[in-house]
């Protein structure tokens, strides 16, 4: 069974962002810009307020989830929003580790917008044990749900918007857009080394060596491939790791290589 979603026409996105009378979606960029000037200690406190401003007249749950990366210290997902504490705790304890709706939205690379009953039908048809998820949806008391995914360089996010009535396609796209922008705003907050990592200057040869290292190619084979000595390859790795931000000092060279691949620097 395919989950019914709102018809998506991406030509509507600019309209959704600029029409001042469209439920405030024209304020997305302005609201996010205000958060950029906040010190890190205040950002999380203000995030709930921001979410309430982005999806007025609805309840929402925003999940920021770091992706597992070798060399980076893991930390738990961050949950914010206007859902009740009970529903947020239920999600955290029973659903976050395996969220089929979020996985489905990520697989489709677009928001899923449907009635609660339609989401429930999809879960019954596609999930082996959907009971906990169905209970969570029913306890929300909503009639309609938008699930908007976003994938960044080192993290991913999902925004759930619970409402009493279907949203217009422009509003669905505005929620989707807001999710992408929120993730882009929060990644440097939770990964403060990210901007410095993206700014690293690498020569063409350094990139070639790092790509091979990220693929797990032994140094001896990299040397043979490039017509260099193994000592030269080790020197390159050492020189490259010296360029990384101080927060990543001590991370193994091949983990640095994989990390640079993950942030699209190679």
Average pLDDT over residues 222-244: 90
Could you tell me if residue 245 is left (phi over 0), alpha (psi between -120 and 50 degrees) or otherwise beta? beta
Which of residues 76 and 16 earns the better pLDDT score?
A: 76
Do 177 and 133 meet the contact criterion of CB atoms below 8 Å apart?
no
pLDDT digits (tens, 9 = 90+) for 164-201: 888 888 888 888 988 998 898 888 888 888 888 888 88
pLDDT at 1: 41
Measured CA to CA, the distance from residue 11 to residue 195 in angstroms comes to 31
Answer yes or no: is pLDDT of 96 > 60: yes
pLDDT at 171: 82
Would you say how long the chain is, in residues?
A: 266
Instruction: Report CA-CA distances (Å) from 162 to 116, 120, 236.
Output: 9, 14, 52
pLDDT at 63: 92
Answer yes or no: is pLDDT of 202 > 80: yes
Answer yes or no: is pLDDT of 23 > 60: no
- CATH code of the domain occupying 195-262: 1.10.10.10
Average pLDDT over residues 68-85: 82
Average pLDDT over residues 16-33: 56
If you average pLDDT over each of 53-57, 92-96, 203-207, which comes out highest? 203-207
Average pLDDT over residues 70-84: 83
Residue 245 gets which letter from DSSP? -
Do 257 and 200 meet the contact criterion of CB atoms below 8 Å apart?
no
Instruction: Return residue ranges of the chain for CATH 1.10.10.10.
Output: 195-262
With bands split at pLDDT 50, 70 and 90, how would you rate the model's confidence at 57?
low
Phi/psi at 24 (nearest 5 deg)?
80, 5
Instruction: Return residue ranges of the chain for CATH 3.30.450.80.
Output: 12-191
In the predicted model, what is the mean pLDDT of the chain? 82
pLDDT at 10: 32
pLDDT at 25: 54
Query: What is 12-191's CATH number, 3.30.470.20, 3.30.450.80, 3.40.718.10, 3.90.550.10?
Result: 3.30.450.80
Which of residues 247 and 41 earns the better pLDDT score?
A: 247
Which of residues 19 and 82 earns the better pLDDT score?
A: 82
């Amino acid at each position: 069974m395919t989950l019914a979603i709102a018809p998506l026409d991406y030509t509507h996105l600019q309209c959704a962002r600029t029409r001042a009378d469209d439920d405030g979606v024209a304020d997305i960029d302005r609201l996010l810009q205000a958060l950029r000037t906040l010190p890190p200690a205040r950002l999380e406190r203000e995030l709930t307020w921001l979410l309430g401003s982005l999806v007025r007249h609805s309840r929402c749950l925003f999940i920021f989830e770091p992706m597992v990366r070798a060399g980076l210290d893991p930390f738990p997902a961050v949950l914010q929003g206007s859902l009740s504490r009970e529903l947020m705790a239920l999600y955290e304890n029973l659903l976050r580790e395996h969220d089929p709706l979020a996985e489905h939205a990520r697989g489709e690379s677009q928001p899923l917008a449907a009635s609660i009953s339609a989401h429930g039908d999809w879960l019954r048809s596609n999930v082996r044990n959907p009971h906990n998820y169905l209970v969570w949806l029913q306890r929300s008391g909503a009639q309609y749900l938008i699930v908007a995914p976003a994938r960044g360089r080192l993290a991913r996010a999902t925004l759930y918007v619970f409402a009493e009535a279907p949203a217009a396609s422009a509003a669905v796209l505005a929620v989707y857009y807001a999710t992408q922008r929120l993730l882009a705003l929060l990644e440097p907050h939770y990964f403060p080394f990210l901007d410095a990592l993206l700014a690293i200057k690498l020569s063409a040869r350094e990139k070639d060596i790092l790509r091979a290292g990220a693929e797990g190619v032994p140094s001896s084979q990299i040397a043979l491939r490039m017509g260099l000595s193994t000592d030269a390859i080790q020197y390159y790795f050492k020189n490259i790791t010296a360029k990384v931000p101080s927060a990543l000092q001590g991370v193994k060279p091949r983990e640095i290589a994989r990390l640079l691949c993950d942030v699209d620097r190679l």
